[in-house]
Chain A
């Protein structure tokens, strides 16, 4: 089946630094990718829609200047958490639709900000 990878799978950073998370579709092209965030025991909350070659669309309440999204190619979207704070600690997951409504999820990135 389709595979979506994320890198890194786990990252610890100091408060105030920036962290980049990569999401790659390994065997298919994705003009659209989605970034979700999951807090412990919570649902997956959509943060933004990443569109290849154009600006990302952010959900209400998500700061676009803090969560920078770049979708420079049909197989790669990156999420950069800028000036990270402890409250940004979360599990970040990307997904890419392949055909119709099915989406394939990456394995997730656990971010811990100290």
Chain B
């Protein structure tokens, strides 16, 4: 039973355009969502997060949107750069502190110059 789903295993975008990565979840107890970026043979790097009390959080080129009624979130990267090419994981957690994250399977983003 996959609680966090990233249905697109890969995405290709031209440099300068917008990249939109999607994530769906099923557990209504999740109240905090995070996006991680991962290069091969490296640990995930935190990118941006959003609490369930918000519907948008922006940090530079990265914006995360949360639609609680649809149990859907998305990460927008604009403008996309070749260095953004990586695997992006969506993760979610429940309210209690020090709880593990539940990850989606990841989406491989390729930004083409």
Which residues of A are interface residues toward B (Cβ below 8 A)? 4, 6, 31-32, 34, 41-46, 49, 91, 93, 95, 97, 100-108, 110
Interface size class of B (residues with CB under 8 A): 20 to 34
How far is it, in angstroms, between the C-alpha of A112 and the C-alpha of B93 when the chains are bound?
Answer: 31
Looking at the assembled complex, report how far the CB atom of B99 sits from the nearest CB atom of chain A, in whole angstroms. 8
Looking at the assembled complex, report how far the CB atom of A10 sits from the nearest CB atom of chain B, in whole angstroms. 8
How far is it, in angstroms, between the C-alpha of A91 and the C-alpha of B38 when the chains are bound?
Answer: 13
Looking at the assembled complex, report how far the CB atom of A58 sits from the nearest CB atom of chain B, in whole angstroms. 12
Q: Contacts A42-B105, A101-B32, A101-B49; is A49 near B41 (CB within 8 Å)? A: no
Task: Report yes or no: A6 in contact with B43, Cβ–Cβ below 8 A.
Answer: yes
Q: Using Cβ atoms and an 8 Å threshold, which residues of chain B touch A107?
A: 42-43
A-B CB proximity, top 4 nearest: A105-B43, A101-B32, A43-B105, A32-B98
A sample of 11 cross-chain residue pairs with beta-carbon separation below 8 angstroms, ordered by A number, consists of A6-B43, A32-B98, A34-B100, A42-B105, A44-B44, A46-B100, A95-B101, A101-B97, A102-B46, A105-B45, A105-B46
Looking at the assembled complex, report how far the CB atom of A35 sits from the nearest CB atom of chain B, in whole angstroms. 9
How far is it, in angstroms, between the C-alpha of A41 and the C-alpha of B108 when the chains are bound?
Answer: 9
Task: Report yes or no: B34 in contact with A101, Cβ–Cβ below 8 A.
Answer: yes
Q: Using Cβ atoms and an 8 Å threshold, which residues of chain B touch A93?
A: 43-44
How far is it, in angstroms, between the C-alpha of A46 and the C-alpha of B43 when the chains are bound?
Answer: 14
Q: Name B105's closest neighbour in chain A (CB-CB).
A: A43
Q: Name A106's closest neighbour in chain B (CB-CB).
A: B43
B44 contact from A41, A97, A100, A105, Cβ within 8 A: A105
